[in-house]
Amino acid sequence: MPAIKSLEELKKIREEALQKRDIKSASGRVQIIVGMGTPGIAAGARDTVKEFLNIIEEKHLTDVVVRQTGNFGLDSLEPVVKVTVGDSTTVTYGKVTPYAARLIMEQHILGGVVVQEHVIPS
Amino acid sequence: MKEIALHLLDLAENSISAKAKTVRIDVREDFRTNQLTAAVEDDGEGMSDEMVKQVVDPFFTSRTTRKVGLGIPLLKASAEAALGGMKITSKPSAGTRIEATFRHSHIDRMPLGDLPCTFLTLTLAHPEIHWIFTYAYTPPYKGKMRKFEFDDQPLKEAVSGLPLTHPDVLAYLRSTLQDGIAGTRE
């Protein structure tokens, strides 16, 4: 695993990204929103977020942004995750365990193929 | 909920719903007084005395789609099961502090859980909030209290423009939180 960078080194990375105009707004190509209401947390949504973050670190993905929101209102399907890749329509996934999170990251976000078995139809 | 760290996550989300701009989480493990304290404090809308009383009722919620709000009642029950309690201090327009105490060695005391992970996910997933985390440890027989404090402002200033989920920023944050908390126990 690569060494942890110091705050000084992070500042340099930021400057390089600014110069290369790599910084669009802090929104990134991929948006992942995880429901973190009480039922979400009880169902393990924090560990789902952790898994997305693990993969971001592992594969050094610089264009993925993860956010949390309150309850989506789909309690029995928690953890619920909404994924938007570029300009495509947002896909809402349910029962996203850390295992499913990895599947979604690799198959959908990196591979372009929606993970049908976890999709919540709208 | 299986961990105190998950309850803290839940309370912090409440603070955000209450339109807080700064949220502070304080955790203390005091082996000398045998007490574990975990608190979330915010500068959000606050609650009237009436609402403070209502909030511990499982059938009271600010949600419109359901009739139950279990986060706070469950935390209160967990704290009381470990011979502790929960205290809410709140003032409308000023903010709220919810503090839960537990007898540390009590057999029914729920585990503290993965605190660094809770801090990490909150900082990254809610970059609009100013987060302050403190963790204090007092050893059992002798030795002073050791405290780790994290304020996310310096990091945000240093990397402003980069998303906090940028892998290098993420790694820095993760290790700062993990090592900071673990460092109090050395």
Beta partners for residue B134, in sequence order: B26, B149
Token representation of residue B25? 């989480």
pLDDT beyond 70 at A24: no
What is the structure's pLDDT at A5? 80
User: Do the bridges between strand A91-93 and strand B130-138 make them parallel or antiparallel, or are there none, so unpaired?
Assistant: unpaired
Q: Give percent of chain B with pLDDT exceeding 70.
A: 97
What is the structure's pLDDT at A71? 81
- What is the helix (H) or strand (E) element at residue B85, kind and residue range? strand B85-91
CATH assignment of A27-118? 3.40.30.10
Among B65, B121, B152, B172, the strongest candidate for a mutation testing the A interface, having the largest count of A CBs within 10 A, is B121
pLDDT tier at B177 (50, 70, 90 boundaries)?
A: very high
Among A6, A41, A72, the strongest candidate for a mutation testing the B interface, having the largest count of B CBs within 10 A, is A41
- Identify the structural domains of chain B with CATH numbers, from first to last: 4-183 (3.30.565)
Report the residue count for chain A: 122
Token representation of residue B9? 């996550």
Distance from CA of B67 to the nearest CA of A (A): 12
User: Do the bridges between strand A91-93 and strand A81-85 make them parallel or antiparallel, or are there none, so unpaired?
Assistant: antiparallel
Among A38, A54, A80, the strongest candidate for a mutation testing the B interface, having the largest count of B CBs within 10 A, is A38
Please report, in angstroms and rounded to a whole number, the separation of the first and last CA atoms in chain B. 29
Indicate the burial class of B91 (C-beta count within 10 angstroms; 0-12, 13-18, 19 or more).
middle
Nearest CB neighbour to A68, from listed B66, B121, B168? B121
- DSSP characters for B135-181? EEEE-SSSS--EEEEEESHHHHHHTTTS-TTSHHHHHHHHHHHHHHH
pLDDT digits (tens, 9 = 90+) for B82-91: 999 999 999 9
User: If you average pLDDT over residues A55-79, what whole number do you get?
Assistant: 90
**Chain position carrying tokens 């924090």:** A46
- Torsion sign, CA atoms B138, B143, B145, B150: negative
Decide: pTM greater than 0.80: yes
More confident residue, A73 or A51: A51
User: Do the bridges between strand A30-35 and strand A64-69 make them parallel or antiparallel, or are there none, so unpaired?
Assistant: parallel
Alpha carbon distance B100, A45 (integer Å): 23
Q: Give percent of chain A with pLDDT exceeding 70.
A: 91
**Chain position carrying tokens 């719903």:** B17
pLDDT digits (tens, 9 = 90+) for B62-78: 776 666 678 899 999 99
Interface of B with A (CB under 8 A): 1, 6, 9-10, 13, 16-17, 63, 65-66, 69-71, 114, 117-118, 120-122, 124-127, 154-155, 158-172, 174-175
Token representation of residue B104? 């540390």
The answer to whether the Cβ–Cβ distance between A36 and B65 falls below 8 Å is no
What is the structure's pLDDT at A25? 47
Residues of A whose CB is below 8 A from B171: 2, 4-5, 57
The answer to whether the Cβ–Cβ distance between A26 and B170 falls below 8 Å is no
What is the structure's pLDDT at B120? 96
The answer to whether the Cβ–Cβ distance between B13 and A37 falls below 8 Å is yes
Among B93, B143, B113, smallest CA distance to B36 is for B113
pLDDT digits (tens, 9 = 90+) for B124-154: 999 999 999 999 999 999 999 999 999 999 9
